[in-house]
Amino acid sequence: MNEAQSSETLMLFPTVLHVTHHMQAAEMNAKIKAAISTVYQEVDGQPPREMACTMYSTMATEPSLHLRAEFGALTDFVQEEAQSFADALDYAVSTGGTSVRKCWLNILRRGDSCDLFNDANSIISGVYFVNSTAGGARMQLHAPIADEMIVIQKSKITDLNAPQIFFDGEAGDLLLFPSHLIRSWTLHNAVDDLVMLNFTICL
């Protein structure tokens, strides 16, 4: 006989990811690419000083791209998926629903990379892949367990104890994850640039 009056399962450290592919990505990306070209010409893409990376980024110089009409359809898509992600994690969401707080452009050019970083002042973060490149940079997601003072050799690597995973997005993919998750980008060796829009989302 189970005498427990109530129980609760707490998701403390497992890393939960939410991946969605936009069904009309080709049409939407054609419009987005034109807007990105304008941003690239008009906005200084110097990454934040505290970040060890060489890529073009408007994180510090123009983090409000979601307010531009050209990115409206994508912003709506991100907010809808963020709501689904928050519901799955049982996050408390305000009556107004999820909303994009920041949106910026990152472009990895040949020879670019990006060291460890996260979004400290947010709950949910996202990356939308405008394109993909064969042999290009890979997004590396680092598990909290990777921060070990003494590294003990694991007898078997599984999804539950892996110190990091790679995510190779395709054009039209949206990846959502908890903002505290540390990530990085490996060296970009492809000829074509890897273009993505990044989001932080409020609840």
Domains of the chain and CATH, by start = 18-148+170-202 (2.60.120.620)
Task: Judge whether residue 54 has pLDDT over 80.
Answer: yes
Least confidently predicted of 14-18, 19-23, 26-30, 167-171: 14-18
Query: Residue 149: what pLDDT?
Result: 59
Which amino acid belongs to residue 25? A
- For 19, residues 6+ apart whose C-beta sits below 8 A from its C-beta are 173, 174, 175, 176
Residues comprising the chain, all counted: 203
Q: What is the model's pLDDT at position 9?
A: 66
CA distance 75 to 24: 14
Three-class DSSP category at 178: strand
pTM attached to this predicted model:
0.89
Q: Is the pLDDT of residue 3 over 80?
A: no
E strand or H helix at 201, and its extent? Answer: strand 194-202
Q: What's the average model confidence in pLDDT over 157-164?
A: 73
Span 165-180, average pLDDT: 94
